[in-house]
Amino acid sequence: MRIIIPDDYQNAVHRLLCFTKLAGHEVTIFTDTIKDVDALAERLHLAEALVLIRERTAITAALLDRLPNLKLISQTGKGINHIDVAACTTHGVAVAVGTGSPYGPAELTWALVLAAARRLPQETANLRAGQWQSTVGTLLRGKTLGIWGYGKIGSLVAGYGRAFGMNVLIWGREGSLERAQADGFSLADNQEQFLEQSDVLSLHVRLTKETRGMVTEVDLAHMKPDSILVNTSRAELIVPGALETALRAGRPGMAAVDVYEEEPVLGANHPLLKLENTVCTPHLGYVEQDSYELYFGQAFDQLLAFMAGNPVNVINPEVL
């Protein structure tokens, strides 16, 4: 089977232990990302199966029109906002979706919290430039950690905050609040109180039509001037441009982000990278060895099951 894996930024897939599952198949891996439909169609034209790395490549109706050989999309992870599933069904393309793991994103979130609180990127850069102790960091113990969205990742981060001696405050939908209360965490009375009391505020909300742009410039203005906003979920949860404006205005005092509206961000071409009060990483939340073995192992198993005539995890079974 002709299999194409796009967007392998680190050229890591062929080094995974699970890659041996594809032995005997014609596998092509691309390490760059292209967005142009014409260029994508030319690159993917011969593919019978695509293994997608999260949401890096959008599968649209216009692209599917140009992929006559495609039979299967095997998705790493469970996000499908980038796939036009209805168009896949129309074109007879099965879409198989795996599961996710909360541990990598949760640990990366906490790394960003620590890095921002102690100004680690700034101090590292200054030390390399010949300077010594140019900032004063912030202690986390005794401060309030706000968790917006108490799901699998948010609950882990809340636990990390508790272990660091922080007061954990939860806000979100009714289900989030019920789960958090059952786990013994405090709930905010309302959103404004939540924003005003959080010394560190971490977003852990799934991106949907309802949550897109749920954090506004007005919301951010309620935060403390020495607070930290952390976003390892999705950039689109915040109104475009609102975070940059808020950081320049001084509320919050700092942001640590791992996600951007358009990815990859190349050439340092993003306004957050031009601000001194930011810690920015290139969407590393799930990018670690164990997660990759899990995600790609599942994606390859889905592909092999499909080829064997026993498809699994297909979300549009009507095409089978």
Nearest CA to 194 out of 164, 209, 215 is that of 215
| Rounded-to-integer distance, Cα 175 and Cα 183, Å | 13
Per-residue pLDDT, 310: 97
| Rounded-to-integer distance, Cα 153 and Cα 103, Å | 7
Per-residue pLDDT of the chain (320 residues; tens, 9 = 90+): 999 999 999 999 999 999 999 999 999 999 999 999 999 999 999 999 999 999 999 999 999 999 999 999 999 999 999 999 999 999 999 999 999 999 999 999 999 999 999 999 999 999 999 999 999 999 999 999 999 999 999 999 999 999 999 999 999 999 999 999 999 999 999 999 999 999 999 999 999 999 999 999 999 999 999 999 999 999 999 999 999 999 999 999 999 999 999 999 999 999 999 999 999 999 999 999 999 999 999 999 999 999 999 999 999 999 99
Q: What is the CATH number of domain 2-101+288-319?
A: 3.40.50.720
Whether the model clears a pTM of 0.75, i.e. scores above it, the answer is yes
Q: Which CATH superfamily is domain 103-280 in?
A: NAD(P)-binding Rossmann-like Domain (3.40.50.720)
Contact 26, 307 (CB under 8 A): no
Nearest CA to 245 out of 232, 263, 229 is that of 229
| Rounded-to-integer distance, Cα 238 and Cα 215, Å | 5
Contact 76, 98 (CB under 8 A): yes
Catalytic amino acids? 234, 263, 283
| Rounded-to-integer distance, Cα 235 and Cα 262, Å | 9
Per-residue pLDDT, 117: 98
Query: Do 2-101+288-319 and 103-280 share a fold?
Result: yes
| Rounded-to-integer distance, Cα 132 and Cα 152, Å | 40
Q: Which amino acid is at 177?
A: L
Query: CA 75 from chain center: how many Å?
Result: 15
Per-residue pLDDT, 248: 98
Q: In what order do the strands lie in the sheet with 167-171?
A: 186-187, 167-171, 144-148, 200-203, 228-231, 254-257, 278-280
Domain positions in the chain are: 2-101+288-319, 103-280
CA 201 → CA 46, 105, 156, 175, distances in Å? 46, 15, 14, 19
